[in-house]
A and B are shown apart, each in its own frame.
Chain A
Amino acid sequence: GNSVTQMEGPVTLSEEAFLTINCTYTATGYPSLFWYVQYPGEGLQLLLKATKADDKGSNKGFEATYRKETTSFHLEKGSVQVSDSAVYFCALRDSNSGYALNFGKGTSLLVTP
Chain B
Amino acid sequence: DTAVSQTPKYLVTQMGNDKSIKCEQNLGHDTMYWYKQDSKKFLKIMFSYNNKELIINETVPNRFSPKSPDKAHLNLHINSLELGDSAVYFCASSHQREPKNIQYFGAGTRLSVL
Contact = CB atoms under 8 A, between A and B. Distances in A.
A89 interface: yes
A92 B58 CA distance: 19
Interface in B44-95: 44-45, 48-50, 53, 55, 57, 90, 92, 94
B74 to A, nearest CB: 12
Interface residues of B, number: 30
Interface residues of A, number: 24
A106 B41 contact: yes
A45 interface: yes
Interface in A5-24: none
B45 A102 contact: yes
Contacts, number: 66
A18 B16 CA distance: 49
Given A97-B45, A98-B55, A99-B96, A43 B90 contact: yes
B44 A103 contact: yes
Contacts of A46: 102-104
Interface string A29-48: 00010001010001111100
A27 interface: no
Interface of B: 4, 31, 33, 35, 40-45, 48-50, 53, 55, 57, 90, 92, 94, 96, 98-99, 101-108
Given A43-B4, A46-B103, A108-B41, 10 more contacts: A36-B105, A44-B92, A98-B48, A98-B50, A98-B53, A98-B55, A100-B45, A101-B45, A101-B103, A105-B40
